[in-house]
Structure 1
Amino acid sequence: MKETPTLVKTLKLHQVVFMGLAWMTPMIYFTVYGVAFDAAGGMLAAAYVTAFIAIFFTAYSYSQMVKAYPISGSAYIYAKKAVHPIAGYLVGWALLLDYIFSPIIAILTFGIFMNTEFPSIPVFVWIILMNVVLAIVNIVGIKSAARVSGLSVLFQIAFIILFCILVVKDILTGQTDSHSILSLAPFFNDHVSIDGVLSGAALICFCFLGFDAVTTMAEETINAKKTIPKAIYLIVIIAVIMYLSISYLSEIAFPNFTFTNPDNAAYRLVQLVGGNLLSSLFIMVLIVATFTQGVSSVTSVSRFLFALGRESILPKKLFTTIHPKYKTPVSNILFVSVISLSAVFINLDSAVLFVSFGALTAFTFVNLSVVFHYYIRQKRRSPKETFLYLIFPLIGASFIGWLLTLLDKTTLFIGLIWVAVGFVYLVVKSKWEVAKGRKYSISKVKQIVD
Structure 2
Amino acid sequence: PKPPAERSLRRVLGVPGLVVFGLAYMVPLTIFTTYGLVTTMTEGHLPAAYVVTLAAMIFTALSYAFLVRVIPSAGSAYSFTQRIFGSHVGFVTGWTLMLDYLLLPLINYLLIGLYLNAQFPAVPMWVFTLSAIALVTVLNLVGISVVKSANLVLVGMQAVFVVVFVILTLSNISTGQSLLAPFFSADMQLGLVLSGAAILCLSFLGFDAVSTMSEEAKDPRRTVPRAVLLTTLIGGSMFILVAWVAHLAFPNWQDFTDPDAAAVQIMNSLGGNLMAAFFLAAYIAGSVGSALASQASVSRILYAMGRDAVIPRSIFGVLHRRFGTPVGAIVVVSVVSLLALVLDLATVASVISFGALFAFSLVNLGAVKHFILDERRTQGRDLLKYGVVPSIGFLLTVWLWFSLSPAAFSVGLVWLLIGVVYLVVLTRGFRRPPPQVDLDETTVDGAPTA
Contact 1:40 1:201 survives alignment (8 Å): no
Could you tell me how far apart the structure 2 residues matched to 1:60 and 1:6 are? 28
Which position in structure 2 is the counterpart of 1:48? 50
Name whichever of 317-326 and 56-65 sits farther off. 317-326
Counterpart residue identity of residue 230, structure 2: L
The 5 Å alignment of 1:249-264 reads 249-257=245-253, 258-264=255-261
Aligned match of 1:371 in 368, 371, 374? 368
Cα offset, 1:250, TM superposition: 2.5
Contact 2:76 2:212 survives alignment (8 Å): yes
Could you tell me how far apart the structure 1 residues matched to 2:4 and 2:144 are? 25
Name whichever of 90-99 and 266-275 sits farther off. 266-275
Cα offset, 1:349, TM superposition: 2.0
Cα offset, 1:169, TM superposition: 1.8
Q: Does residue 358 in structure 1 map to residue 355 in structure 2? A: yes
Pair 260,377 (structure 1): closer, same or farther in 2 beyond 3 Å: same
Contact 1:271 1:278 survives alignment (8 Å): yes
Q: Does residue 393 in structure 1 map to residue 390 in structure 2? A: yes
Could you tell me how far apart the structure 1 residues matched to 2:383 and 2:251 are? 44
Counterpart residue identity of residue 52, structure 1: L
Could you tell me how far apart the structure 1 residues matched to 2:31 and 2:4 are? 47
Could you tell me how far apart the structure 2 residues matched to 1:315 and 1:97 are? 18
Which position in structure 1 is the counterpart of 2:444? none
Which position in structure 2 is the counterpart of 1:337? 334
Deviations 1:267-312 (A, max 9, x none): 1112222222111111111111111111111111111111011111
Which position in structure 2 is the counterpart of 1:184? 180
Pair 270,71 (structure 1): closer, same or farther in 2 beyond 3 Å: same
Name whichever of 93-102 and 240-249 sits farther off. 240-249
Unaligned runs of 5+ in 2: 439-450
Contact 2:309 2:435 survives alignment (8 Å): no
Counterpart residue identity of residue 14, structure 1: P
Pair 384,94 (structure 1): closer, same or farther in 2 beyond 3 Å: same
Contact 2:79 2:437 survives alignment (8 Å): no
Which position in structure 1 is the counterpart of 2:152? 150
Name whichever of 235-244 and 102-111 sits farther off. 235-244
Which position in structure 1 is the counterpart of 2:282? 285
The 5 Å alignment of 1:246-325 reads 246-257=242-253, 258-325=255-322
Q: Does residue 100 in structure 1 map to residue 88 in structure 2? A: no
Counterpart residue identity of residue 215, structure 2: E
Name whichever of 307-316 and 79-88 sits farther off. 79-88
Aligned match of 1:38 in 30, 37, 40? 40
Cα offset, 1:449, TM superposition: 7.7
Cα offset, 1:2, TM superposition: 5.2
Contact 2:427 2:434 survives alignment (8 Å): no
Contact 1:167 1:249 survives alignment (8 Å): yes
Contact 1:20 1:214 survives alignment (8 Å): yes
Could you tell me how far apart the structure 2 residues matched to 1:91 and 1:18 are? 26
Q: Does residue 445 in structure 1 map to residue 423 in structure 2? A: no
Counterpart residue identity of residue 87, structure 2: P
Which position in structure 2 is the counterpart of 1:437? none
Could you tell me how far apart the structure 1 residues matched to 2:398 and 2:15 are? 30
Aligned match of 1:405 in 399, 402, 407? 402
Cα offset, 1:348, TM superposition: 1.5
Counterpart residue identity of residue 374, structure 1: F
Name whichever of 395-404 and 80-89 sits farther off. 80-89
Counterpart residue identity of residue 88, structure 1: G
Counterpart residue identity of residue 200, structure 1: G
Q: Does residue 210 in structure 1 map to residue 206 in structure 2? A: yes
Cα offset, 1:188, TM superposition: 2.0
Counterpart residue identity of residue 162, structure 1: V
Could you tell me how far apart the structure 2 residues matched to 1:38 and 1:445 are? 49
Contact 2:81 2:89 survives alignment (8 Å): yes
Secondary structure of the structure 1 residue equivalent to 2:290: helix
Contact 2:250 2:266 survives alignment (8 Å): no
Q: How many residues in Structure 1 have an aligned counterpart in Structure 2?
A: 435
Aligned match of 1:127 in 123, 126, 129? 129
Which position in structure 1 is the counterpart of 2:442? none
Counterpart residue identity of residue 223, structure 1: D
Contact 1:35 1:263 survives alignment (8 Å): yes
Cα offset, 1:390, TM superposition: 1.3
Contact 1:5 1:321 survives alignment (8 Å): no
Contact 2:426 2:434 survives alignment (8 Å): no
Which position in structure 2 is the counterpart of 1:75? 77
TM-score, normalised relative to structure 2:
0.93
Q: Which runs of 4+ in 1 moved over 4 A?
A: 446-450
Cα offset, 1:167, TM superposition: 1.3
Which position in structure 2 is the counterpart of 1:221? 217
Counterpart residue identity of residue 39, structure 1: M
Secondary structure of the structure 2 residue equivalent to 1:444: coil
Secondary structure of the structure 1 residue equivalent to 2:213: helix
- Note the aligned Cα RMSD (angstroms): 1.6
Could you tell me how far apart the structure 2 residues matched to 1:263 and 1:240 are? 22
Name whichever of 1-10 and 117-126 sits farther off. 1-10
Q: Does residue 238 in structure 1 map to residue 226 in structure 2? A: no
Could you tell me how far apart the structure 2 residues matched to 1:444 and 1:4 are? 29
Contact 1:86 1:449 survives alignment (8 Å): no
Counterpart residue identity of residue 74, structure 2: S
Unaligned runs of 5+ in 1: 432-439
Counterpart residue identity of residue 252, structure 2: N
Cα offset, 1:254, TM superposition: 3.0
Contact 1:79 1:88 survives alignment (8 Å): yes
Cα offset, 1:39, TM superposition: 1.9
Deviations 1:38-67 (A, max 9, x none): 222210111111111011110101111111
Cα offset, 1:4, TM superposition: 6.0
